[in-house]
Amino acid sequence: MERRFVTLFVVSILFVVAPNLAQSQILFQAFNWESWRKEGGWYNFLGGRVRTIANASVTHVWLPPPTHSVSEQGFIYYYFSLLLLQNFLDMLTISRVLCLGYLPGRLYDLNASRYGDQGDLKALIRQFRKRRIISIADIVINHRTAEKQDQRGIYNIFEGGTPDERLDWGPQMICSTDTIFGGTGNPDTGLDYGAAPDIDHLNPTVQSELSNWLNWLKTEIGFDGWRLDFARGYSPEIARIYIQNSSPGIVIGEIWSPLSNYEGSDMNAHRQELINWVDAAGDNALAFDFTTKGILQLAVQGQLWRLRDQTGKAPGMIGWRPERAVTFVENHDTGSTQNLWPFPGDKVMQGYAYILTHPGIPCIFYDHYFEWNLRDEIHNLATIRRLNKIHPTSVLRIIAAEADIYVAAIDERVIVKIGTRYHVGNLVPPDFHLVAHGNQYAVWQIRRR
């Protein structure tokens, strides 16, 4: 009896510490670049679609930034003043600041969000929780917009959104390398974000107050996961501090670096950057697999041989560390009305056939599921993933990777084919039967006995 108790106890501990490795998981990005415009509020609108989202075997939902953000009118005044001092902003920065939510100011003020108020958000999260879906907040802490100007006329006086002094900061909380905003803090630990003051995350007060805010989002609002926006803006060691202090159920970093050369060494360096970040950020840190997205959207254009690297593995982060990779076809930046790095529109379902059958945690984009008339196909692939228990560390065996065809077996239970070649010959054994097919993709699963 004692031995049995110890065994059960150990198994239980392993499940608590590492529940993700053996379970099928699917993330759903539940907004796009125009969601803030929705009449009646996005949160209320999305509440009517929770059941449909849950039916796609979704386990996690990624919601937009929940806080107050600079207004359209404030944006014009704020940046007119800024541009007098700064010659230009890069294209990514310009496009991102135009969306309300990614220029946060009063972090505790959730009633000023253009997606809905705090009550609407909490009600939405409760609906997802009833469906056993974990809600992930889009956390924008690299930078922050100030509420007031100092005596020199520089916007660097912050308001936290509460009657007390929480998150009420001054220029000492801005990186000293951010001279445009008069920062007097420590040097930046990451990349500069030109559109707003870069926060000094080496400051103990900043670390303490942001950690308290993250915990408030968990206990008061109901979030249990973070998506770290522009995580290249501060070091992974800084990210690790916030992860440890807030203990989210899941955390995913946005590490988006250019992928200009898709060949061997550059491709490996690109995915190695993602791996370096998750290793430094902590044991439960994940990263969006931008390497896989870049290679996949090129491969489906008649270059499917790219989907097998020199060692026979998948060429993205999922080829090396699938348990820490979140794969995706599109998001609000790469697609939607931003369209900064779009997947070929007529080949999107090939992308989903790939990520929904492969290791890693796949992410479904709102637009594709609700606006592209692809719901039934994506739902079917998601169901196949769940029924066959495909999980982040499932075993991938690439059977063929040529210009016009890619075939792979997952856990020897599912076989997927993408590409223009119709006949698969003897690549699919006779004990597998077809369970899904569409434009240039097909999926088989082993016959049940």
H-run or E-run covering 382: helix 375-387
- Model pLDDT, residue 100: 62
User: Is 273 among the residues known to form the active site?
Assistant: no
156 by DSSP, 3-state: which? Answer: strand
pLDDT for residue 87 is more than 70: no
pLDDT for residue 18 is more than 70: no
Q: Residue 365's CB: how many other CB atoms inside 10 A?
A: 30
Task: Please list the alpha-helical segments (H only) found in 300-374.
Answer: 348-355, 366
- Model pLDDT, residue 262: 77
- Model pLDDT, residue 73: 42
Phi first, then psi, for residue 298 (nearest 5°) are -85, -40
* Secondary structure, 3-state, 201-262: CCCHHHHHHHHHHHHHHHHHHCCCEEEECCHHHCCHHHHHHHHHHHCCCEEEECCCCCCCCC
Lowest mean pLDDT among 70-79, 158-167, 196-205: 70-79
Rg (CA), the chain: 23
Q: How far is CA 50 from the centre of its chain?
A: 19
d(CA 297, CA 328): 11
pLDDT digits (tens, 9 = 90+) for 389-423: 999 999 999 999 999 999 999 999 999 999 999 99
d(CA 103, CA 280): 26
Average pLDDT over residues 224-231: 98
- Model pLDDT, residue 86: 44
User: Is 178 among the residues known to form the active site?
Assistant: no
Task: Select which of 120, 188, 209, 229 is catalytic.
Answer: 229
d(CA 169, CA 318): 41
284 and 245 Cβ atoms separated by less than 8 Å: no
pLDDT for residue 387 is more than 80: yes
Average pLDDT over residues 215-227: 98
Q: How confident is the model at residue 4 (pLDDT cuts 50, 70, 90)?
A: very low
- Model pLDDT, residue 20: 53
CA distances from 97 to 69, 382, 384, 389 (A): 10, 34, 39, 40
Question: What's the length of the chain?
Answer: 449
- Model pLDDT, residue 367: 98
With a pLDDT cut of 90, the percent of the chain lying above it is 84
Q: What is the mean pLDDT of the chain?
A: 90
Q: How confident is the model at residue 23 (pLDDT cuts 50, 70, 90)?
A: confident
d(CA 338, CA 340): 6
Q: How confident is the model at residue 117 (pLDDT cuts 50, 70, 90)?
A: very high
- Model pLDDT, residue 7: 36
- Model pLDDT, residue 71: 56
CA distances from 440 to 351, 365, 417, 420 (A): 10, 20, 8, 5
Q: How confident is the model at residue 168 (pLDDT cuts 50, 70, 90)?
A: very high
Q: How confident is the model at residue 82 (pLDDT cuts 50, 70, 90)?
A: low
Task: Select which of 109, 254, 309, 377 is catalytic.
Answer: 254
413 and 421 Cβ atoms separated by less than 8 Å: no
DSSP letter for each residue of 259-316: ----SHHHHHHHHHHHHHHHHHH-TTEEEE-HHHHHHHHHHTTT-GGGGS-TTSS-SS
pLDDT digits (tens, 9 = 90+) for 288-301: 999 999 999 999 99
Q: How far is CA 307 from the centre of its chain?
A: 22
pLDDT for residue 254 is more than 70: yes
Residues 6+ apart with CB under 8 A from 394: 322, 358, 359, 410, 411
Q: How confident is the model at residue 16 (pLDDT cuts 50, 70, 90)?
A: very low
pLDDT for residue 188 is more than 50: yes
- Model pLDDT, residue 19: 42
CA distances from 126 to 66, 123, 132 (A): 15, 5, 10
d(CA 411, CA 390): 8
Half-sphere exposure in the Cβ direction for 223 (13 Å, CA) = 26
Of 398, 372, 227, whose CA–CA distance to 304 is shortest? 398
- Model pLDDT, residue 94: 45
User: And the tokens for 271?
Assistant: 């995915």
User: And the tokens for 332?
Assistant: 């609000």
Q: How confident is the model at residue 75 (pLDDT cuts 50, 70, 90)?
A: very low
User: And the tokens for 226?
Assistant: 């973070």
142 and 229 Cβ atoms separated by less than 8 Å: yes
Average pLDDT over residues 333-343: 94
Of 89, 97, 17, whose CA–CA distance to 338 is shortest? 97
